[in-house]
Amino acid sequence: MPGFEPSDLFDPPTSVLLCGGSRALVRWVAYALVADRPGGFVWGHVRLEDEVFEEDDPLKTPLLPRDQVISVLPSELVRDEFEGNVAVGGLLRPKEDEELVRRFADFVRLPKQTQDLLSGLPRGGASPVLVLSGGHRIAAFYTAETEAPTIRSIVGSGASMLIIWEDAPLARRFLHDHVLQLKGYETSKWKDAVLTVEKGWPTGPLQTGTVLPLRGIAPVASVLSRTL
């Protein structure tokens, strides 16, 4: 696939949702997409109480040391609508600044942990991709009306996000800029897995409707060949 590098997927800042039925395999593919990112990546994981990782899960390998994974409970990623409403209500602004106020309000409504993370991102050069595994576990806390401004606010802050959805995908997945669906169930058979671009990029090898075997995506295959 000439001209395609995983780092190209996230510039300019964008939102990508990667869904798949195999928890371990979809996380490995996500890792392959960000492993060689010039700005690196920050990996967050929505955990369950007493969660046990599968033996072939990348979150159990030295590639993603547990002390480098931000582990949060689903309830910690809930938007703070009250705080946002209070902040906006206290602002005095001319009518022409309404868009700026809306963006500020969307940011204030983000979970506190997300605000802190975005505030600490470098402002020059490539920024790290924000990866979130277990993204499906916070679906109950969001609606299309709240998820859209959350995505918009994170991307608008200059960060790219890669959400890993390890469950049956919802229709509102198309709120993200790009949607990739992985079909494959065993990490040992990753070469047989297929990546379908449900909502793609306007040009290049990952346009909407493209179907690609993982073994044919050279940069992804390179990472998986040396790690699986």
What is the domain-level CATH number for residue 103? 3.40.50
Output the pLDDT for position 199: 97
Kindly give the residue spans of alpha helices, DSSP state H, lying in the chain: 23-34, 81-89, 98-109, 112-119, 144-156, 218-227
Indicate whether 89 belongs to any domain. Answer: yes
Indicate whether 86 belongs to any domain. Answer: yes
Range of the domain at 66: 6-227
Indicate whether 219 belongs to any domain. Answer: yes
Indicate whether 1 belongs to any domain. Answer: no
Regarding pTM above 0.85, the answer is yes
Output the pLDDT for position 86: 60
Indicate whether 138 belongs to any domain. Answer: yes
Indicate whether 215 belongs to any domain. Answer: yes
Residues of the chain with pLDDT under 70: 1-7, 82-98, 100-101
Indicate whether 106 belongs to any domain. Answer: yes
Work out the burial of residue 127: count CB atoms within 10 Å of its CB; fewer than 13 is exposed, 13-18 middle, 19 or more buried. buried
Output the pLDDT for position 81: 77
Output the pLDDT for position 2: 41
Strand partners, 130: 42, 161
Count: domains in the chain = 1
Output the pLDDT for position 155: 94
